[in-house]
């Protein structure tokens, strides 16, 4: 074999290696994939609309519930008593209204034969109106109290699964304070945190292959949205309202990550999705 | 698809598997070259070996990576 041929063979192999190495490098660095994906779900935090003791807890931890199913009931004695009180008040207002109306009707007749002044008639008419308004007010208050009574039975706002139930019978729950959370059924999706260097390769509608850490079976889906903002740490201020500008090395920059939401295609039955678990995401390049 | 290798709950780069595979191919090639006597005829055999390793690695990534 001539020296020239030997040199050429080696050079060809080296050139091939350069091309192949470059291809691997490009693929590793610039393909739209991430190991930093998370399974997400719509979580509803459930807070009671009224305060009181929990008298009956109808669900267990991790129980599946249907929409409208009873979750827990709050002691309703106080709300029941308030209703009774208000019912009595409504009755009183009703009687007061009847009386005022009766007076007005009687005075209407008297006014016809000019026994009383027009002014007096007007006063009784207004009193009757006022009594009616007070009756309406009492009725409205009764409705509110009845609503409160209804709200002592806390129901599931949608079908899903209870998670991390820490509520026990006898606990005191406060109005508006979350006491349990619900994972909405079928609301699972995946968020991939892609490096900003790969952002130009990602677009809505792109097909994605998702591999969960918990299962070897790949899932598929498509990109539905790309986050439009992430926090900038340089905006933080100190007590003197001066910006906290982060120091960086002149050459080394870490690519930040942008969340990309991916809608899942129907998931096979043997795959269990758990919100918060890790997933690797690879987007098809087209 | 580039996949990670999960070992005991830790994720590793797939290259951790791909590199040894490529290395095994390189060793086999080297043996073959020695046996056939081609090795001595190569110009700068070390360059060739390293280059072949990189080529093998690319091939492994191409096949195992699913492209």
Cβ–Cβ gap B4/A35 under 8 Å: yes
The answer to whether B1 contacts chain A (CB < 8 Å) is yes
- pLDDT band at residue A104, thresholds of 50, 70 and 90? very high
3-state class percentages of chain A: helix first, strand second, coil last, to nearest 5? 35, 25, 35
Kindly report the nearest CA distance between residue A44 and chain B, in angstroms: 30
pTM as predicted: 0.74
CB–CB contact B1 A7 (8 Å):
no
Q: If you average pLDDT over every residue of chain A, what do you get?
A: 91
User: Which of A133-137, B53-57, B58-62 is predicted most confidently?
Assistant: A133-137
Chain A residue with minimum CA distance to B6: A213
* Phi, psi of A154, deg, nearest 5: -90, 125
**Could you give the dihedral angle defined by the CA atoms of residues B7, B10, B14 and B15, in that order, rounded to the nearest 10 degrees?**
-100
Where along chain B do its domains lie? 25-67
Dihedral sign of CA atoms B12, B14, B15, B16 in order: positive
Number of Cβ within a 10 Å radius of residue A99: 13
Closest-CA residue of chain B to A21: B54
- Which of A5, A6, A9, A20 to probe by mutation at the B interface, max B CB count within 10 Å? A20
Complex ipTM > 0.90:
no
pLDDT at B7 over 80: no
For the segment B15-42, the average pLDDT, to the nearest whole number, is 89
The predicted structure's pLDDT at residue B67 = 53
Average pLDDT score over residue span A37-55: 95
CB atoms A17 and B6 under 8 Å? no
Note the pLDDT tens digit of each residue in B40-58.
Answer: 888 888 888 899 999 999 9
Rounded to whole angstroms, the Cα distance separating B64 from A30 reads 18
The number of beta carbons lying within 10 Å of the beta carbon of residue A81 is 11
> Chain B, 15-44: which have a CB under 8 Å from a chain A CB?
15, 41-44
Q: Over the stretch A171-227, which tens digit does the pLDDT of each residue have?
A: 999 999 999 999 999 999 999 999 998 888 899 999 999 988 888 888 999 999 999
Give the Cα separation of A222 and A260 in Å (integer): 10
CA angle A203, A220, A30 (to 5 degrees): 45
């Amino acid at each position: 074999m001539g020296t020239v041929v030997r040199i050429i063979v080696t050079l060809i192999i080296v050139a091939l290696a350069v091309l192949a190495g470059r291809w691997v490098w490009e693929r590793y660095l610039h393909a739209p994939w991430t190991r930093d994906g998370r399974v997400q779900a719509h979580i509803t935090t459930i807070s009671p609309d009224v305060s009181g003791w929990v008298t009956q807890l109808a669900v267990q931890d991790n129980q599946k519930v249907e929409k409208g199913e009873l979750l827990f009931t709050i002691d309703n004695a106080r709300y029941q008593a308030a209703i009774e009180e208000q019912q009595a008040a409504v009755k009183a207002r009703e009687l007061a209204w009847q009386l005022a109306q009766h007076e007005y009707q009687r005075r209407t007749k008297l006014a016809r034969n000019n026994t009383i002044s027009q002014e007096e008639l007007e006063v009784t008419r207004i009193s009757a109106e006022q009594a009616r308004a007070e009756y309406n007010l009492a009725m409205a208050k009764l409705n509110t109290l009845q609503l409160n009574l209804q709200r002592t039975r806390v129901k599931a706002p949608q079908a899903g699964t209870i998670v991390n139930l820490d509520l026990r019978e006898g606990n005191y729950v406060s109005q508006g304070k979350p006491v349990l959370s619900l994972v909405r059924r079928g609301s699972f999706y995946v968020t991939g945190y892609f490096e900003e260097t790969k952002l130009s390769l990602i677009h809505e509608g792109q097909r994605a292959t998702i591999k969960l850490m918990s299962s070897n079976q790949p899932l598929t889906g498509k990109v539905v949205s790309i986050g439009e903002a992430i926090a900038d740490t340089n905006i933080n201020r100190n007590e003197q309202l001066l910006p906290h500008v982060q120091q960086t090395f002149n050459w080394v920059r870490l690519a930040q990550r942008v969340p990309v939401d991916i809608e899942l295609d129907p998931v096979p039955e043997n795959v269990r999705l758990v919100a918060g678990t890790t997933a690797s995401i690879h987007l098809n390049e087209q | 698809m580039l996949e990670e290798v999960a070992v005991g709950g830790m994720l590793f780069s797939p290259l951790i598997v791909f590199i040894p595979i490529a290395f095994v191919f390189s060793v086999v090639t080297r043996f073959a070259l020695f046996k056939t006597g081609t090795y001595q005829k190569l110009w700068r055999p070390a360059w060739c070996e390293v280059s072949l390793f990189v080529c093998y690695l690319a091939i492994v990534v191409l096949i195992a990576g699913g492209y």
